[in-house]
Amino acid sequence: MKEFFKYVLATVTGIILVGIIMGILAVISLVGLAASSASTTNVEDNSVFVLSLSGTLNERTAEDPLASLTGQVSENMGLDKLLEAIKKAKEKEEIKGIYIEAGLFSSDTPASTHAIREALLDFKKSGKWIVAYADTYEQSTYYICSVADKIFLNPDGMIDWHGLASTPYFVKDLLAKFGVKYQLCKVGKYKSAPEMMTADGMSEPNREQVTAYINGIWEVMLKEVSDSRKIPVDSLNAYADRFVTLAEPEDYVKMKMVDKLIYTDEVKGEVKKMLKIDEKDDIKQLTLADMEGVKGKKNEGDQIAVYYAYGEIVDSETGSVMDTEHNIVANTVCKDLEKLTNDDDVKAVVLRVNSPGGSAYASEQIWRAVTNLKAKKPVVVSMGGYAASGGYYISCAANYIVSEPTTITGSIGIFGMFPDFSGLLTEKLGVKFDEVKTNKHAAFGTMARPFNAEEMALLEQYIGRGYNLFRKRVADGRQQSIEQIEEIAQGRVWLGNDALKIKLVDEIGGLDKAIAKAASLAKVSQYHATSYPEEQSWWASMLDQATSKNNYLDEQLQATLGEYYEPFKFVKNMNRQSAIQARLPYYVNIK
């Protein structure tokens, strides 16, 4: 009887605790809903949009309800909301200019920073002004801020201007210390993703393609900064060679990289001059969060769907390579695209792709969904930072492809990389194996030994069929012969500007241009764009955040490891990847 009452008491206590927790969550949810309903921002005349370039830029904004409730400022921003805010600032007559405050800013790709810069240039077409200030300009933020009418720098500040570099990692010898090695099957001499596990350095084909695309990106940056600041390209290159990052601040004025050296407390005075208000008057400011509540133009006409597909391409959520990253989950994307196919209100679809690729199988399934969608309505691809390997696979079936000039694309090739732990198990740990089998290949893939020559030959045939299918998909989509595609395939990475020349893409431009093209193909004159997948509800976002694997410890690990975080996670989760991959190396990092 005593045990009975003990269990009853424990059950009652548990029910009460659950009720209390659910009550608290319900109250928080109601607060969030109330906050959402009252989020319309009133824009006063003679206002300034204050754009803080700090934190991490992602393809799409991830809602952070807990941060909103606690008053914290999220360190992540979405390119989608940032571009939308700049567009609203252009359209609102009450907003007279943009003040950019540059800080520690991390962008996922050069194409994303280019998109921001283009949006700011478009903003200036309205006749409005842009002012930029920083204690220190990182290279990417200076590139963005170079569009400003006035660029100010702290008298003790610096401009990081040094050029671009790519620094791949190689861990073959590290793994060998633990008795681990990788067996490789690949098609395409430029397919460099496996080199990290199987080589000591860059292959010559890989060095060739990396040299081509980082030089191409640097040329774009040089030309655009030159056009805005009226500094010759040769001079900008010379400044990088001299590593002017460590120059005297006064020299930046002489080099015309900045207009004036001023302290933080003097910035308001400069902005007030632009607004033509008295020194004693307050500046009416709007933040990025405020701009979300600013009403844009009314949605009129037919609907063009913009479907965001960004991250690694995986078969399912359980196959995710990066626990903390957004992924393109094949079964989810296919269902979403099927819904858009059958939605008569959607007249055309823009597939916004920002992906280095991933599972070849998953890429084929999404290709099929895009093909089915195209059979009923126009599909236009808008390429973000990456649309390479599997990212290009899912793009090639579209009616039309629009790429940023610095998008990294192509990489038409496939590989299979198989870990061999037999050395770790037998030599390091002393594990012994024996074998009994009924058929010749019954022990195929055993951990007791690496693949033998015959087994590798079978794998190579399988990988070869995958490559042939990939080439055919591209050839059919781009209306070229397989022989023509082979000349530009072999896993070769291309920059958007170069991809246009070889007809892998149809036009250079951003998301707005892709939406306009989709409307044109659908033969609609009045239209509006709607983003998909739809954003999570406030409540769902909060629950996801509470159960997310992206916890505080992981965030601290990422902050501590910095640029080494990605290779660490890549190696850690290698065994969770699909065996057959159509992807870029993780290390296409450009600094």
Which residues form the catalytic set? 191, 389
Q: Which residue has the tokens 């002489």?
A: 254
Structure tokens at 379: 């599909």
Termini Cα distance of the chain: 70
Structure tokens at 171: 């861990």
Phi/psi at 426 (nearest 5 deg)? -85, -45
Q: Report yes or no: 350 and 380 within 8 Å, Cβ to Cβ.
A: yes
Q: Which amino acid is at 584?
A: L
Q: Is it true that the peptide bond before 356 is cis, omega within 30 degrees of 0? A: no
Give the DSSP H or E segment for 403: strand 400-403
Q: Strand, coil or helix: what is 38?
A: coil
Strands of 85-172, DSSP E: 95-107, 129-137, 150-159
Q: Strand, coil or helix: what is 562?
A: helix
Q: Which residue has the tokens 């020194």?
A: 279
Residues 16 and 290: their CA atoms lie apart, in Å, by: 40
Secondary-structure breakdown of the chain: helix, strand, coil percentages, each rounded to the nearest 5: 45, 20, 30
Q: Which amino acid is at 471?
A: R
Tell me, what DSSP letter sits at residue 425?
I
Of 541, 492, 509, 494, which is closest to residue 205 (Cα–Cα)? 492
What is the β-pairing status of strands 76-78 and 357-359?
unpaired
Residues 517 and 350: their CA atoms lie apart, in Å, by: 9
Q: Which residue has the tokens 């000039």?
A: 405
Residues 430 and 407: their CA atoms lie apart, in Å, by: 49
How far is the CA of 161 from the CAs of 164, 195, 210, 414, 471, in angstroms? 9, 30, 20, 37, 40
What is the β-pairing status of strands 580-583 and 414-420?
antiparallel
Residues 167 and 165: their CA atoms lie apart, in Å, by: 6
Phi/psi at 473 (nearest 5 deg)? -60, -45
Helices 538-547 and 2-37 cross at an angle (nearest 10°) of 130
Helices 204-229 and 110-124 cross at an angle (nearest 10°) of 20
Residues 6+ apart with CB under 8 A from 380: 348, 349, 350, 351, 398, 399, 400, 401, 402, 514, 515, 517, 518, 521
Q: Which residue has the tokens 């199987």?
A: 198
Residues 582 and 466: their CA atoms lie apart, in Å, by: 9
Torsion of CA 444, 446, 449, 450, to 10 degrees: 50
